[in-house]
Amino acid sequence: MNILRTIVAKELLDGVRDRRSLFSAFLFPFLAPLFIYGLMTLVIQQNTETESITLPVINADAAPALVAHLKEAGFIIEAFEGDPEAEVAAKTVELVLSIPIDYQKTMAAFETTRVTIIHDGSRNDTSATVRQVRNLVRIYSSELNALRLVSRGVSPKLMRGLQTENGDIASDEQRAANFLSFVPIYVLMAAFVCGLGLAIDQTAGERERRSLEPLLINPVSRLSIVFGKCLAASIVAALGMLITLGMCLGAMLMLPIDELGIRFSLKAQQVVGLIMAILPIPLLASSLQLLLGLFAKSFKDAQSYVGFLVFIPVVPTLVMNFLPFATSFWMYFVPVFGQSIMMKEILGAEPVPLLAYPAAALPTLLAGLLVCWLTSRLLDQERVIQS
């Protein structure tokens, strides 16, 4: 116990004094949520902004009723002259609605009249507006159809053979959790990012500085050396992870996501649940980093190997998005995967079985200890000790 405390204290002191790498380690917890907050605010704005969008229309005079319908929905109509395709391509206008010159003539003849929306389908920022205009034209068209039927003595109901009702079973919180699925990724990523520098410095760095050999000459078991180093890196990683969690939750509460028709609220109970769920992750993350750090031939090698580990937390969320499934209990047992599911459920205010906590924590902690043991075995190999 004393030996462990000695190693942890030394590694933390050494790590804290390395201001530059400490700074870069904690850039992630502070910057990532801010970046996400900015991005999400932008998305929400784009999705909710309807008023005062200018819509350039060719030949607007030919269809006063349609134009009035668009104006009513909040568009400012602007007469457009020139080459619509060229201007859309040059991004001087977002989209152009083109009304044919014979609009009135075909209308009067009860023929199909075609209006054209000229836009750039590869642009993400205009797709919402395009969809909105297309929808408004469709609504106008169905109103027109109804009037045409009525004028011939036919009930407009005949046109509505089928209609869908919205039966969304997801609660507002669940939809919010889905919308904010980046939170579990970022929080778990922080566990892999924040202790990374310290873990490499303690392994590949220690070997490259030739201080590994003097350390191993001490009358201490290899396992306690590895475990002490792992604990030191985990403490830093856990700190970074908890800061990221706090920042992300803060950002979620501040985001005006209710404007999207979804709701997010947070109880103290949920925060405690989240922390309990993710706390074992740093130990596993740090132990893997130490293993790769010792396994790598050099400091630079170690950095690129360990860098790949950062993508581990992305996998579960990707799987959940592309292969939707219902949660079965065995899934909690899979390290990182279990924690991702739990975070998503807790954020969505879904009930999480109490047994899920130990079910997720134990395999993760055991895996971390196993990796520590493997790492300590590496320290018996000449190839690993000598730089």
Residues 295-314 that bind another protein (CB under 8 A): none
Contact 328, 356 (CB under 8 A): no
Residue 119 vs 207, nearer CB to another protein: 207
Build a one-symbol-per-residue string for 14-43: x at contacts with another protein by CB under 8 A, - elsewhere. Answer: x--xx-------------------------
Build a one-symbol-per-residue string for 167-206: x at contacts with another protein by CB under 8 A, - elsewhere. Answer: ---------------------------------------x
What is the full DSSP assignment across 289-309? HHHHHHHSSSHHHHHHHHHHH
Residues 358-387 that bind another protein (CB under 8 A): 380, 382, 385
Residue of 6, 155, 298, 304 that binds another protein (CB under 8 A) = 6
Tokens representing 273? 């649940």
| Cα 241 from Cα 28, distance rounded (Å) | 10
Which of left, alpha, beta for 84 (phi over 0: left; psi -120 to 50: alpha)? Answer: alpha
Residue 10 vs 134, nearer CB to another protein: 10
- Smallest gap from Cβ 209 to another protein, in A, equals 5
Does position 2 interact with another protein (CB under 8 A)? The reply is yes
Please count the residues of this chain forming the interface with another protein, following the rule CB under 8 A: 26
Specify the residue for token string 């929306």.
Answer: 117
Residue 172 vs 201, nearer CB to another protein: 201
Which DSSP symbol is given to 195?
T
Q: Which listed range, 4-12, 52-60, 66-74, 295-303, lies at the site for another protein (CB under 8 A)?
A: 4-12
Contact 204, 293 (CB under 8 A): yes
| Cα 133 from Cα 112, distance rounded (Å) | 18
What is the full DSSP assignment across 361-372? HHHHHHHHHHHH
- Smallest gap from Cβ 16 to another protein, in A, equals 9
Q: Which listed range, 12-20, 33-41, 251-259, 325-333, lies at the site for another protein (CB under 8 A)?
A: 12-20
Coil, strand or helix at 97: strand
Residue 5 vs 131, nearer CB to another protein: 5
- Reduce the secondary structure of 65-86 to three states and give it as a string: HHHHHHHHCCEEEEECCCCHHH
CA 300 vs. chain centroid, Å, equals 29
Coil, strand or helix at 161: coil
Which DSSP symbol is given to 91?
T
- Smallest gap from Cβ 232 to another protein, in A, equals 13
Residue 72 vs 382, nearer CB to another protein: 382
Build a one-symbol-per-residue string for 205-244: x at contacts with another protein by CB under 8 A, - elsewhere. Answer: -x--xxxxxxxxxxxxx-----------------------
Tokens representing 198? 């310290």
> Which chain residues interact with another protein by CB under 8 A?
2-3, 6-7, 10, 13-14, 17-18, 206, 209-221, 380, 382, 385
